[in-house]
């Protein structure tokens, strides 16, 4: 009597197990793609933020070196303050700035009374007969060197290109990310007994 009520496997149960394995594979495929997109997105944005911070730090190190009027780095002569500043900026960029993209690093000098137009060599006179432009405080102040004490030095990295690791066709179709960084400081007084070194 009890044998009549024994549970018997339903027909097609084995086929159902096989189909569930196929469903798990499809579900895994649908989940792994967004997961990879999220992972690479986080990595891409993290690298971009790191690169921006590193460029800002490198130009700040360059401008802090420039206000000291040093014309040598680690005992090696650079020839001018500008060349030394560029060398220090490149050295602190972890290799992202090098001789191949040296044109991206610019060093400019400004008068404290005119921060819009950089000073050029044609504005200066070694004899000190040219006066500073737009100087309302002391119009008779003479401009001898672009890097004389009181002027401002600006170090900038402009349009540094960076490609996304995995560009998405809809959002960023292989376009480069352009990064810029800039730092400015006032040139301090010269050490006692020294003359203004060449800037360019």
Q: Residue 141: phi, psi to the nearest 5?
A: -65, 135
User: Is there a domain that residue 193 lies in?
Assistant: no
Beta-bridge partners for 186: 152
pLDDT of residue 168: 63
Domain encompassing residue 37: 14-186
62 CB-side CA count, 13 A: 33
pLDDT of residue 89: 94
The position carrying tokens 């999220």 is 38
pLDDT of residue 36: 82
pLDDT of residue 188: 85
What is the domain count for the chain? 1
pLDDT of residue 154: 96
User: Is there a domain that residue 195 lies in?
Assistant: no
Q: Is the pTM of this model over 0.95?
A: no
Q: How far is CA 66 from the centre of its chain?
A: 19
- Could you write out the DSSP letters of every residue in 48-112? HHHHHHHHHHHHHHHHHHHTTT--EETTEE-SSHHHHHHHHHHHTTTTSS-GGGGGGEEEEEEBT
User: Are 155 and 66 a contacting pair, CB within 8 Å?
Assistant: yes
User: Is there a domain that residue 38 lies in?
Assistant: yes
User: Is there a domain that residue 8 lies in?
Assistant: no
pLDDT of residue 173: 58
Give per-10-residue mean pLDDT for the chain (200 aa).
Answer: 56 55 75 83 88 95 91 86 92 90 92 87 81 75 84 94 73 73 90 75
User: Is there a domain that residue 39 lies in?
Assistant: yes
User: Is there a domain that residue 6 lies in?
Assistant: no
Q: Residue 133: phi, psi to the nearest 5?
A: -70, 145
Helix (H, G, I), strand (E, B) or coil at 32: helix
User: Is there a domain that residue 200 lies in?
Assistant: no
User: Is there a domain that residue 164 lies in?
Assistant: yes
pLDDT of residue 64: 94
- CA–CA separation, 196 vs 147, rounded Å? 7
Supply 78's token pair: 């650079």
Residue of 185, 173, 164, 159 whose CA lies nearest to 55: 159
- What is the side-by-side strand order in the sheet with 105-110? 105-110, 152-163, 176-186
């Amino acid at each position: 009597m009890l044998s009549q009520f024994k549970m018997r496997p339903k027909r097609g149960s084995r086929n159902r197990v096989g189909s569930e394995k196929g469903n798990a594979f499809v579900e895994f495929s649908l989940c792994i793609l967004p997961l990879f997109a999220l992972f690479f997105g986080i990595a891409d944005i993290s690298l971009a933020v790191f690169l921006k911070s590193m460029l800002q730090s490198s130009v700040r190190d360059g401008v802090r070196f420039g206000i000291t009027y040093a014309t040598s780095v680690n005992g090696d002569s650079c020839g001018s303050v500008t060349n030394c500043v560029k060398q220090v900026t490149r050295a602190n960029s972890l290799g992202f700035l090098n001789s191949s993209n040296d044109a991206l690093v610019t060093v400019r000098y400004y008068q404290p009374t005119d921060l819009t137009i950089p000073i050029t060599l044609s504005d200066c006179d070694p004899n000190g007969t040219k006066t500073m432009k737009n100087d309302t405080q002391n119009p008779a102040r003479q401009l001898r060197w672009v890097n004389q004490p009181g002027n401002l030095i600006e170090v900038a990295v402009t349009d540094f290109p960076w490609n996304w690791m995995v560009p998405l066709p809809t959002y960023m179709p292989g376009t480069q990310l352009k990064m810029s960084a800039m730092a400015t400081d006032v040139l301090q007084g010269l050490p006692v007994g020294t003359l203004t070194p060449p800037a360019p």
